[in-house]
Amino acid sequence: MIEYDGKNYVLKYNMKRIEMIESVTNMPTLAEIKRTGGMLGLLSLKTYIAYAIKEEGDDKFLPPKKGVKIAETLIENNGYADVCGMVLESLERDCPFFFQAG
């Protein structure tokens, strides 16, 4: 869970969100994870948060601009590595099809 400005937020991924993220980053998700060993580039990391964040208990995703602002604050306060780990854990939880053994 993410706390920001007195509210709780969660990351939630699905195929549609991943398609949006891949369109912005111009990189397939699994290719980027494998290429970087899970340590996403800063721009990609912010994008993975901006397009997947929603207020806890709400069905609507936040506008990406607000998501980027929260992502930047998260990275500054919690550190890059912790935020990367949070994104990867959420991806594994929500998109297990990326991590199935072939």
Domain chopping of the chain, boundaries = 2-99
Distance CA 94, CA 98 (A): 10
Q: What is the mean pLDDT of residues 13-22?
A: 97
| Tens-digit pLDDT profile for residues 84-101 | 999 999 999 999 998 876
| Tens-digit pLDDT profile for residues 44-88 | 999 999 999 999 999 999 999 999 999 999 999 999 999 999 999
Q: What is the mean pLDDT of residues 2-26?
A: 96
49-73 as b/e: b if 16+ CB within 10 A:
bbbbbeeeeeeebbebeebbbbbee
**3 state DSSP class of 2:** strand
Give me 42's structure tokens: 């800063």
Q: Is pLDDT at 102 greater than 70 in this prediction?
A: no
What is the predicted pLDDT for the residue at 61?
Answer: 97
